[in-house]
A and B are shown apart, each in its own frame.
Chain A
Amino acid sequence: MLFRPKTFSSLAAGLMALLPFSVGAAEITHELGVTDVPDAPQRVIALEFSFVDALAALGVSPVGIADDKKRQRIVAEYTAVIGDDWQSVGTRKTPSLEVIASLQPDLIIADKTRHSGVYDTLSQIAPTIVLDSLGGTYPDAIEQTLVIGDALGLKDKAAERVAEHEAVMAELIAKIGNESHGVNAQFGVTNATGLWLHSPLSYNGSLLEKFGFSSSMTPQEGEVYETNYVPTTLEQLSVVDPDLLILGKYADPAFTDGWAGEALYDSLKAVEASNVYTVNAHKWSRMRGLLAAEMTANDVLEILTEFSGKQ
């Protein structure tokens, strides 16, 4: 670890106190390399909601969260476990490095897409591990929970919790049975100005696949907002034409609401058969992880019950 007393002089004392912990540290392999993490870090900062999900799954309370400066974005399901004794470190996109440093963390969990640029700076503040949350799939999110468990010195507990989660999911999938087979389902988020479909490469896409749905989106190459979260016009949506359209709406009226009444929109399979369902955009789109997937699964179960009833 590198300390720059000039830049972080005020922190030097605090960080020195943490040094003994780095003796016998665990080596954690992550997206941007290998980081020595002290045994059982106590002051953890999570820069994405899925990392909060992992902490909640493992019963660890963070000291700082990039909550987009809106505390309610850390939902009750999380705060029930991690409590309210954490500070906001700003937005996920541009978290405040000063606030992060002032919290004297001993582990920072950062996102590959959002925080690779500040990885060096974060690493100077505290051991930092970088995981692909925004660009990752559902299996990736599970894998990341295991990595975070490892970093927290809770390897066995994480494995146990993941096994528990998989049992819950297996039960839900058993309930779904083969109702989802051959059904083309598509999730997308819409705000006031556009629609973004979550492709099979995205977290939600892969989760729907796990539930047995299929997708007719053609995979794209490029960066996250081309491959995973694909901006989609009505004309492009009419090519995907899913049987089941699940929308998370960030605005009211949402952009897609403006399409109602247009001939092309009304001719979509999902619209014709009234199979457009609205879900909580925040829980589906921004949250990823074990707990989030279980919440999503319950929504899917409800949607599918209604969908099957119409067939």
Chain B
Amino acid sequence: MNARHRLPFQAGAISVLAFGVCILSVYGSLMTGGRSDIRLSDLFAASTNGAVILDIRLPRTLVAACLGVNLGLSGLILQALTRNPLSSPSILGINQGAALGLTIGVIFPSVGALVGLMPLAAIGALVAGFMTFSIAGVFTGRIVSLRLILGGVAVGAFASAMVRFSFTLEDDLARQVLRWTLGNISDVRWHHVQSLFVWSLGGTVATLAMAHRLNLMALGEAQASGLGADPRLTLMIGALMSACLTGTAVFVAGPIAFAGLVVPHMCRFCLGPDHRILVPATALGGACLLMAADAASKWLTSPVELPVGVVVAMIGAPYFLYQTLFSKGAI
């Protein structure tokens, strides 16, 4: 598969570039924030500054990285499953479904307390994904691309309309929901890292294990089942994983659009279509994008912070547009 695909860059150049970008985004994310007197050396200092970097900035950087991993992988899985380059958690309505699940938990605290907000987000993501996939005709055995995208747009629009309805409710409630829907990680701590990290790590391992199945999906469903991988099983596991990865990300940060769409594209553009390489690359690329966006969110309008979701959209949307306009046949 690799041999037939001409890569635009040398492997060595890509590794150096990836390493540089990664270091820069970690540094940027760690060195920005409400205080200007924090240095990297404070990481090992037993002072207030040390506490700032250990208790506040490091978990935030890690949360950003985990979000990038989750959203990137979720997008990669969806694009492979549907053989549609436009698939991503936000375009298939899965992000918005997760946000709706969360919003229901916030508006009805009894439901939120009973089920828990994180499961509610995952359930919302699953239900939205299920609806989009049904509209696309998955259960009749064949995915119609156009119906998939239109179905996703419809489901997403419905879910975000319901979320937006909550803005008209009481001020305090509206502000809570608004904070979520913008994609905000301005006050995360270690316990957020704990809940996310498990999913990011597990998700990466599981997706890596599925990489071969995802490669087969790219050949088409008939060929995939001819080669011994039941596409329905791949579809089911993949959809479930994608919903869980998205749900956990939305629970912590709110629906961040474009990360799931752009990162797999960027990686495919640089590294070719083999999922055994794409899975780790997408995880790393997603982490870098979100950490860089986190740095920008703290720095651009300092001292008031931008929601990280807004910054990701500011980076992601132009890249996606560029790809759409200038790629030859890839999209």
Contact = CB atoms under 8 A, between A and B. Distances in A.
A255 interface: yes
B56 A235 contact: yes
Nearest to A250: B172
A93 B48 CA distance: 41
Given A91-B170, A193-B179, A236 B55 contact: no
A99 interface: no
Contact of B304 (A194, A226, A238, A239): A226
Interface residues of A, number: 29
Given A94-B168, A218-B303, A235 B51 contact: no
A191 interface: yes
Interface stretch (A3-11, A124-132, A147-155, A262-270): A262-270
A192 B109 CA distance: 12
Interface string B281-310: 000000000000000000000011100000
A266 to B, nearest CB: 9
B176 interface: yes
A234 B170 contact: no
A157 to B, nearest CB: 32
Contacts of A192: 176
B34 interface: yes
B51 A267 contact: yes
Nearest to A238: B35
A236 B303 contact: yes
Contact of B48 (A94, A220, A263): A263
Nearest to B57: A235
A269 B86 CA distance: 52
Given A239-B35, A255-B187, A193 B304 contact: no
A263 B172 CA distance: 29
Interface string B34-74: 11000000000000100110011000000000000000000
Contact of A191 (B176, B187, B303): B176
Contacts, number: 73
B304 A235 contact: no
A46 interface: no
B272 interface: no
B304 A262 contact: no
A231 interface: yes
B304 to A, nearest CB: 6
Contacts of B187: 194, 233-234, 255
- Contact-size category for B: 20 to 34
A33 interface: no
B176 A193 contact: yes
Interface in B125-166: none
B170 A68 contact: yes
A309 interface: no
B107 to A, nearest CB: 13
Interface in A186-224: 191-194, 218, 220, 222
A52 B168 CA distance: 22
A282 to B, nearest CB: 11
Interface in A26-51: none
Nearest to B168: A94
Contacts of B179: 193-194
A65 interface: no
A72 B1 CA distance: 69
B186 interface: yes
Most central of A68, A193, A238 by chain B CB within 10 Å: A193
Interface string A240-259: 00000000001000010010
A54 interface: no
12 contacts: A68-B171, A191-B172, A193-B175, A193-B179, A193-B180, A194-B179, A233-B56, A233-B187, A236-B303, A262-B55, A264-B56, A267-B48
Interface of A: 68, 91-94, 191-194, 218, 220, 222, 226, 230-231, 233-239, 250, 255, 258, 262-264, 267
Given A93-B170, A233-B187, 5 more contacts: A91-B171, A226-B304, A233-B186, A238-B35, A264-B52
Closest 8 CB pairs of A and B: A235-B34, A263-B51, A236-B34, A193-B176, A264-B51, A267-B48, A235-B33, A94-B168
